[in-house]
Amino acid sequence: MTTPVVSIAYHSGFGHTSVLAEAVRDGVTTAGATAHLINVEEISEEQWSLLDASDAIVFGSPTYMGTASAVFHAFAETSSKRWFNQAWKDKIAAGFTISAGKSGDKLNTLQYFTVLAAQHHMHWVGLGLMPGWNTSTASENDLNRLGFFLGAAAQGNQDQGAEGVHKADIATAAELGKRVVEVARVYAAGRTALAA
Report the chain's mean pLDDT, rounded to a whole number.
Answer: 97
State mean pLDDT over 18-43. Answer: 98
Are 77 and 30 contacting, i.e. CB atoms less than 8 angstroms apart?
Answer: no
Distance of CA 6 to the CA centre of its chain: 10
pLDDT in the model for residue 88: 98
Residue-wise pLDDT tens digits, 85-124: 999 999 999 999 999 999 999 999 999 999 999 999 999 9
The fraction of the chain above a pLDDT of 90, given in percent, is 95
pLDDT in the model for residue 172: 98
Q: What SS3 class is residue 196?
A: coil
Whether 1 shows a pLDDT value over 90: the answer reads: no
Calpha distance 67→71 (Å, rounded): 11
State mean pLDDT over 7-19. Answer: 97
pLDDT in the model for residue 170: 98
Calpha distance 117→125 (Å, rounded): 10
State mean pLDDT over 15-39. Answer: 98
Beta bridge partners of 64: 67
Residue-wise pLDDT tens digits, 44-86: 999 999 999 999 999 999 999 999 999 999 999 999 999 999 9
pLDDT in the model for residue 192: 87
